[in-house]
């Protein structure tokens, strides 16, 4: 049996990575797709006082439990199910729950730094970078963090200037160079997403060489 096709989807915060991943999953609903998001692998900060958690640089590669992420990716590749952590952005900690992820014909892995992390990147067969203009990303991020992640305006702005923007320029944006495909205009680019789905189907059926 062929090993699963590992597809990495990177891009800046609020670029539309999750939307691209969701649309690919929906288009491949007839295939077994295992999905892991790098966000679930943020280190658990439950032992740090809540006020201090807000000061952490969540955009640096060290903010992630990369050992567990690689371990889970390799387990899925070898056909084993995993228990993915469930992360709570409001408290910046892991919840007691985990979510079972079954192995699949395709493994989709999505996150800001999945192309930056060499051990993760080396496991991929297809590397995607989702691009979107910075002004649109910050507007989306502001709305999302205030509505869904328990933040206020001042915090989003200061976090963006202190951590998000410099780490984006230092780690995320440069990782674009590892991409096989760059999808402009984020998750709304139906043509690019359609082409990607077609290429993945080709690879899955063996019609297109995996190398």
In DSSP terms, 170 is beta-bridged to: none
Minimum CB distance to ligand C5P smaller for 156 or for 203: 156
CA–CA–CA angle 47, 115, 184 (5° rounding)? 115
Annotated binding site for ATP: 11-18
Residue holding tokens 């969540």? Answer: 58
Give the helix ranges, DSSP H, for 54-132: 66-77, 118-121
> Is residue 59 involved in binding ligand C5P (CB under 6 A)?
yes
Annotated binding site: 11-18
Among 92, 107, 123, 131, binds ligand C5P (CB under 6 A): 92
Among 5, 14, 24, 82, binds ligand C5P (CB under 6 A): 14
Ramachandran assignment for 16, one of left (phi > 0), alpha (psi -120 to 50 degrees), beta (any other): left
Nearest alpha-carbon partner for 172 in 200, 132, 139? 132
> Is residue 58 involved in binding ligand C5P (CB under 6 A)?
yes
Minimum CB distance to ligand C5P smaller for 14 or for 132: 14
Binding residues for ligand C5P, per CB under 6 A? Answer: 13-14, 39, 42, 58-59, 89, 92, 112, 164
């Amino acid at each position: 049996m062929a090993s699963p096709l590992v597809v990495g989807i990177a891009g800046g915060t609020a670029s539309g990575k999750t939307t691209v991943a969701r649309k690919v999953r929906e288009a491949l609903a007839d295939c077994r797709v295992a999905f892991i998001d790098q966000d679930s692998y943020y280190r658990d900060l439950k032992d740090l006082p809540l006020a201090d958690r807000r000061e952490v640089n969540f955009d640096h590669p060290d903010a992630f439990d990369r050992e567990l992420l690689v371990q889970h990716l390799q387990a899925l590749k070898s056909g084993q199910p995993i228990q993915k952590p469930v992360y709570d952005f409001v408290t910046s900690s892991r919840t007691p729950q985990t979510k079972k992820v079954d192995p699949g014909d395709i493994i989709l892995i999505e996150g800001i730094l999945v192309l930056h992390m060499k051990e993760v990147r080396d496991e991929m067969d297809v590397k995607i970078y989702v691009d979107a203009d910075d002004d649109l990303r910050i507007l989306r991020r502001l709305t999302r963090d205030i509505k869904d992640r328990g933040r206020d305006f001042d915090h989003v702005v200061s976090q963006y200037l202190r951590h998000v923007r410099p780490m984006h320029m230092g780690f995320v944006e440069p990782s674009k160079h590892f991409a096989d495909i760059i999808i402009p205009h984020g998750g709304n680019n139906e043509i690019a997403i359609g082409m990607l789905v077609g290429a993945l189907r080709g690879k899955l059926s063996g019609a297109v060489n995996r190398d």
